[in-house]
Amino acid sequence: MSKPYGYIALFESAPAIYHAAQSVREAGYKRWDVLTPFPVHGLDGAMGLKRSKVPVFTLCGGVIGFITGMLTAWYMGQFDYPLIVGGKPFFSPIFPFPVAYELTILLAAFGTLGGMFITNQLPMHYHPVMNYDKFRHLTDDKFAVFIEAEDELFSETGTREFLENLGPAEVAAISDEEEE
Amino acid sequence: MFRPSVLEEVRPADIPRRQIIENDRSFSWITQKVCGIVEGRTPTWWWVAFIICALIASFTLMGLIYLVSTGTGVWGLRNPTFWGWAIVNFVFWIGIGHAGTLISAILCLLKQKWRTSINRAAEAMTIFAVICAGIFPLFHVGRVWFGWWLFPLPNSNAIWPNFRSPLEWDVFAVSTYGTVSVLFWYMGMIPDLATIRDRVPMIFEERLAGAKTALQKTFEKLYFGFRKYFYGILAMGWRGSNRHWSNYEMAYLLLAGLSTPLVLSVHTVVSFDFAVANLPGWHTTIFPPYFVAGAIFSGFGMVLTLMLPLRAIFGLQDLITQFHIDCMCKICLATGSMVGYAYGMEFFIAWYGSNPYEGFAFINRAFGPYAWAYWIMISCNVITPQFFWFRWARENLWLVWILSCFINVGMWFERFVITVTSLANDFLPSSWDYFSPTIVDVFTFFGTFGLFGVLFLLFIRFLPLLAFAEIKSVSKQADVHGHH
């Protein structure tokens, strides 16, 4: 095996991974990640993650949706083809409100989902960590800390020893070459 | 502040919290239990149920082909009841969907952790109910190939849709509701789909070892090749990274926050179809909250009707516990009583408002030609949920199931009573008539239950029935501080 993509340490329980994440963060690593089968509460804080940026996408979607709804009703009813229906005005901000409201929600929802995919860089159907032979357990009942070789503090022996000192079930090297 | 010294010496015990999952099941047990439904061999009952549902669904298909080839007259849409059956069924099915979004969104915002065991199936129910609902308004326009005129797309007449009409609001409300429900459902499923994807090679090896003939082996290879790509593509390369979970949870919370006003607005807009008209019995401000409560009521009725058999068939008693059933029964009780209050309040306002037409509409409902439908509605919707005050009733699962079926029936009759009694006896006695559905009406509606069943059976066979990543996160061993 050539130079590894990184080292992965496998843990058995949620508290263990929580403490391991704290240690890795305190050691000053930057390019690392924790893999868990479900969202472990408090782990964001242990990893020192910043607040998610998804709400920005939601807000943009919502604002665009509302403006689109109102502009559509105005353009069609007042500007492009004015038609008197039941003596009501060609345009008023009141009657198309349900339409603008629903479009706000619709585009905000698309913004949220799109924002989740963009911030997570998904879909990404291949990632080196998937070469790990126990990867299957990481979406089932096991937890892992993963440090990339790209990290400035990374060293083949030092990082391995550091991970072994955290008390994992095992430490393994990950390669970026797909196995044949 | 004075503090009794005894409090320094005595440390009160933690209040024992109810465990969402019973019997302290491990993470892998939960995975195995839920994935096993998708990964095991297709049970015989599934095929039997699927074929029966497909046959029933064909009634809808035949009914619609007959309608389109002949004309809307075959649906009994005639003076004075032009809306009749189609809108009754539309409102009924849309209402069924509401529990799904309510469980997913509102209970998520209220931090009701018990929602995790039932939200996935309820969301699926929502989507399939919206599909069934959409059939009726789409086809009752007659020339269904012009259905796209409802959307603001340029057509050859250069006339745009009328945004002043509640029916146009409906188009936006229901299509948004359907779309956002699908997004919410799919996003919630991504981590679970990743688990199923990662288990494919393991299950494949087991199956291959069990296959005896070369033909069986070839079949398993093809089938699991398909599964690998099917779940692989749907899972979007999810790998359970905590950096992903952080964004994912934020997105989930936001979608819940968006769906909450959405679910309340959809049935409000549906009620505007009625309330904005001047017809006695429809023109009331109680309609939006009354319709929303009714929708949630019927939706939870349907969730109970579906989940109780599934829980028994798949042995999910540890994940969908008595506590879950209790909670759902209590929501039925609350919303059912709200609906009962609305029935009473309609009568009160008809009397208090001193409008003779309004007063007649309600007396006619209770004692006129449709009194039979009215009293079915009252007994199913007002009396039935009152059983849920009692613990013995909530713990008798057969009784709960039967009562939930009554709720479904009652809520269909509610829409029938509202729509038909007001239309059939309007301002002009000369145009009054007794509405009865045609055979095509009845079969088309009956068939939608088959369509719903087909879609739901496909869902439980191919997609994770329970949101097990979320169930794990609320279990006892997921707590990083070792207590709960």
Give the β-pairing of A6-11 and A170-174.
Answer: antiparallel
Average pLDDT over residues B252-271: 90
Average pLDDT over residues B199-212: 86
Note the pLDDT tens digit of each residue in A28-39.
888 888 999 888
Burial class from Cβ neighbours inside 10 Å (0-12, 13-18, 19+) for residue B45 reads exposed
Inform me whether the C-beta atom of residue A38 falls under 8 Å from chain B C-beta atoms: yes
Asked if omega into B161 is within 30° of 0 (cis), the reply is: no
Average pLDDT over residues B118-137: 91
pLDDT at position A57 over 90:
yes
Cα(B350)–Cα(B327) distance, integer angstroms: 35
* Domain B5-478 top-level CATH class: mainly alpha
Q: Rounded to the nearest 5°, which phi and psi values hold at B369? A: -65, -20
Reference B404, options B378, B385, B390; nearest CA is B385
Question: What is the band of B83 on the pLDDT scale with cuts at 50, 70, 90?
Answer: confident
pLDDT of residue B1: 57
Question: What is the band of B173 on the pLDDT scale with cuts at 50, 70, 90?
Answer: very high
Q: What is the DSSP letter of B466?
A: S
Inform me whether the C-beta atom of residue A105 falls under 8 Å from chain B C-beta atoms: yes
Torsion of CA B355, B359, B362, B367, to 10 degrees: -160
Reference A27, options A46, A14, A53; nearest CA is A46
Could you tell me if B301 and B409 are in contact, meaning their C-beta atoms sit under 8 angstroms apart? no
pLDDT of residue B14: 65
pLDDT at position B113 over 90:
no
Closest CA–CA distance from residue B272 to any residue of chain A (Å): 10
Count of CB pairs separated by less than 8 Å, A with B: 213
Q: Where do the domains of chain B lie?
A: 5-478
Burial class from Cβ neighbours inside 10 Å (0-12, 13-18, 19+) for residue B144 reads middle
Q: Distances from the Cα of B56 to the Cαs of B10, B59, B322, in angstroms?
A: 66, 6, 33
Task: Determine which of B76-90, B391-405, B438-452 has the lowest per-residue pLDDT on average.
Answer: B76-90
Taking CB atoms and an 8 Å cutoff, what residues of chain A touch B469?
A: 37-39
Helix pair B397-416, B287-314: axis angle to 10 deg: 150
pLDDT of residue A179: 52
Average pLDDT over residues B267-271: 90
Please tell me which of the candidates A43, A85, A119 has its beta carbon nearest to residue B242: A43
Average pLDDT over residues B193-206: 88
Inform me whether the C-beta atom of residue A45 falls under 8 Å from chain B C-beta atoms: no
Q: Do B244 and A125 touch (CB under 8 A)?
A: no
Q: Do B269 and A95 touch (CB under 8 A)?
A: no
pLDDT of residue A74: 93
pLDDT of residue A166: 84
Mean of all residue pLDDT scores within chain B: 88
Contacts (Cβ under 8 Å, ≥6 apart) of B102: B263, B296, B299, B300
Beta carbons within 10 angstroms of residue B23's beta carbon: 10
Cα(B55)–Cα(B42) distance, integer angstroms: 19
b (16+ CB within 10 A) / e for B294-323: bbbbbbbbbbbbbbbebbeebebebbbbee
Nearest residue of B to residue A50 by CA position? B246
Average pLDDT over residues A50-59: 92
pLDDT of residue A180: 43
β-sheet bridge partners, residue A173: A7
Closest CA–CA distance from residue A100 to any residue of chain B (Å): 9
The residue ranking higher by pLDDT, B324 or B24, is: B324
pLDDT of residue A42: 84
Q: Distances from the Cα of A122 to the Cαs of A135, B106, B243, B338, in angstroms?
A: 18, 28, 12, 44
Site from B30, B104, B203, B250 to mutate, A interface, most A CB atoms within 10 angstroms: B250
Average pLDDT over residues B263-274: 90
Question: What is the band of A72 on the pLDDT scale with cuts at 50, 70, 90?
Answer: very high
Question: What is the band of B90 on the pLDDT scale with cuts at 50, 70, 90?
Answer: very high
Q: Between the ranges A56-70, B87-101, B461-475, where is the mean pLDDT highest?
A: A56-70
pLDDT of residue B406: 94
The residue ranking higher by pLDDT, A54 or B155, is: A54
Q: Distances from the Cα of B248 to the Cαs of A120, B126, B242, B402, in angstroms?
A: 8, 22, 9, 39
The residue ranking higher by pLDDT, B201 or B12, is: B201
Question: What is the band of B11 on the pLDDT scale with cuts at 50, 70, 90?
Answer: low
pLDDT of residue A105: 94
**Quick one: which H or E segment has residue B157?**
none
Taking CB atoms and an 8 Å cutoff, what residues of chain A touch B183?
A: 109-110, 113
pLDDT of residue B484: 42
pLDDT of residue B207: 84
pLDDT at position B131 over 90:
yes
Q: Do A15 and B27 touch (CB under 8 A)?
A: no
Could you tell me if A52 and B246 are in contact, meaning their C-beta atoms sit under 8 angstroms apart? yes
Q: What is the DSSP letter of A41?
A: T
Please state, for a pLDDT cut of 70, what percent of chain A lies above it.
Answer: 97
Please tell me which of the candidates A14, A76, A88 has its beta carbon nearest to residue B479: A14
For residue A83, give the amino acid letter: L
Average pLDDT over residues A97-123: 92
Note the pLDDT tens digit of each residue in A132-157.
888 888 888 888 988 888 878 888 88
Average pLDDT over residues B205-226: 86
pLDDT at position A61 over 90:
yes
ipTM score assigned to the predicted complex: 0.91
Note the pLDDT tens digit of each residue in A2-14.
677 888 888 888 8
Please tell me which of the candidates B173, B248, B473 has its beta carbon nearest to residue A116: B248
Note the pLDDT tens digit of each residue in B306-345.
999 999 988 888 888 888 899 899 999 999 999 999 999 9
Q: Do A54 and B243 touch (CB under 8 A)?
A: no
Q: Do A105 and B180 touch (CB under 8 A)?
A: yes
